[in-house]
Structure 1
Amino acid sequence: MSRPSAKHELFTQFARVARALASANRLELLEFLAQGPRSVEALAKVSGLSVANTSQHLQALRQAGLVLAHKEGLRVYYAIAGDDVVRLLYILRQVAERRIAEVEKLVRSYLTSRDDLEPIPAQELLARARKGLVTVLDVRPPEEYAAGHLPGAINIPLTELEGRLSKLPQDREIVAYCRGPYCVLAFEAVARLRQKGWKARRLKEGFPEWKAAGLPVE
């Protein structure tokens, strides 16, 4: 009886992680934390949740071992527990895309329809960037860029792109990236750049996936 009981207890603990992930708000908070550590208040602001609700979701994620927390003065800061959590989210996304028809439909309707060009894979971007063939554009907010970014990437948040186009060379292709493959910031940046005459594409994934793959970051 001991062996089946131990196995059942293991599955019970695995289920703690699954329960923590069973919330769209928590998944979005994990995406924000994958960009870099943030306070509860900052996470509440960027997610549109109340501070109390954000704190409750973060506690659930912490109890499942998916995030870490530390206190600085009166503020509590959270960080993603490790790159394995990012990989877990990547696998969850892949399974949903392949097995749930509604996911494929949403991706096609709201994202793929905005960009008919194939996104550039991470390894290809790295090789082209090292040869100086592309300009890498990070369109995330400055605090996320400061927490970590692709080597040599220029940070121009989407809200500032129109006024800072002169900072971008026109003799090279621009590759934009943001928080992940579903982040609309990169889609919008590419669309605006093409309208202005730039040759532009987006990175297939985002910064968290790049970092989790062991590729170089600054």
Structure 2
Amino acid sequence: MGDRSRKGALFAEFAAVGKVLGNPKRLEILDLLAQGPRSVEDLAAAAALGMSTCSAHLQTLREAGLVGSRREGKRIFYSLAGDDVAGLWEYLRRVAQAHRPHTEVARRAYLGPEDSDAVDTDELLRRIRSGDAVILDVRPEVEYAGGHLPGAIHIPLEELTDRLAELPTDREIVAYCRGQYCVLAYEAVRQLNARGLDARRATDGLLEWRLAGLPVETGAV
């Protein structure tokens, strides 16, 4: 039958990970770290957290073994402990989407209606290889530098309306961002279409791209 107390100790280890995941802000931090390593300062700003609160969340995630850290001078950079942590985050979202009806209500309230003409990953791969579309990354600079789709043009969403002249007009634009639940690409496509440009959204973002083992380039423009 096995030792009940030892079984309890084992399941307590599993529960410790579940407990850490039971906080929306810590999940947001994992979502950001799935894009690549980030400093505490960057994470706090991106997640709209105070420095001390963000540091406390990171310490909790590190104690649970989900993130690691390194120091560069006076700055500390955090990263996911492995691709399996990114996979855990992605699978948690899938389970919520499949089994919690309000998840879809919340998704639509945040992202807006589903666009039926979004470009799936197979089609996006074909377009990258053929060069018949402009691949547009609308994430912040630090995320683009940490990893982006091959050949992607980078224009952060907040700069998009001021930099439209940098986009070719003879090809369709496919915008992508962090992942399936990232609002940046949705907003980019709405802005581009409102200005008469031919633009569609990629169904997947960098999170799904990496988990699928597809090629990723690093470095800033």
Instruction: State TM-score, norm by structure 1.
Output: 0.93
Q: Which residue of 1 aligns with 2:127?
A: 128
Deviations 1:58-81 (A, max 9, x none): 111111111111122222210111
Tell me the CA shift for residue 3 of structure 1: 4.8
1:52-201 to 2 correspondence within 5 Å?
52-113=52-113, 115-201=114-200
- Matches of 1:122 and 1:11, distance apart in 2: 37
Q: Which residue of 2 aligns with 1:27?
A: 27
Tell me the CA shift for residue 181 of structure 1: 1.5
Tell me the CA shift for residue 4 of structure 1: 4.4
Which amino acid is the alignment partner of residue 163 of structure 1?
A: D
- Matches of 1:168 and 1:112, distance apart in 2: 25
Deviations 1:84-111 (A, max 9, x none): 1111111111111111121111122332
- Matches of 1:150 and 1:63, distance apart in 2: 32
Q: Which residue of 1 aligns with 2:17?
A: 17
- Matches of 1:173 and 1:7, distance apart in 2: 56
**Alpha carbon RMSD of aligned pairs, Å?**
1.5
- Secondary structure at the counterpart of residue 187 of structure 2: helix
Which amino acid is the alignment partner of residue 40 of structure 1?
A: V
Is contact 2:110–2:183 with CA below 8 Å preserved after alignment? no
Tell me the CA shift for residue 5 of structure 1: 4.1
Is contact 2:127–2:133 with CA below 8 Å preserved after alignment? yes
Deviations 1:181-218 (A, max 9, x none): 22111111000111112221111121122112100010
Change (3 A) 1:157 1:112: same
Q: Which residue of 1 aligns with 2:213?
A: 214
- Matches of 2:132 and 2:7, distance apart in 1: 53
Gaps of 5+ in 1: none
Change (3 A) 1:119 1:7: farther
- Matches of 2:43 and 2:204, distance apart in 1: 22
Deviations 1:159-188 (A, max 9, x none): 111121121112211111111222111111
Deviations 1:129-179 (A, max 9, x none): 101121110001111111110000000011111121121112211111111
Which one is further off, 183-192 or 199-208? 199-208
Which amino acid is the alignment partner of residue 191 of structure 1?
A: R
Which one is further off, 199-208 or 7-16? 7-16
Gaps of 5+ in 2: none
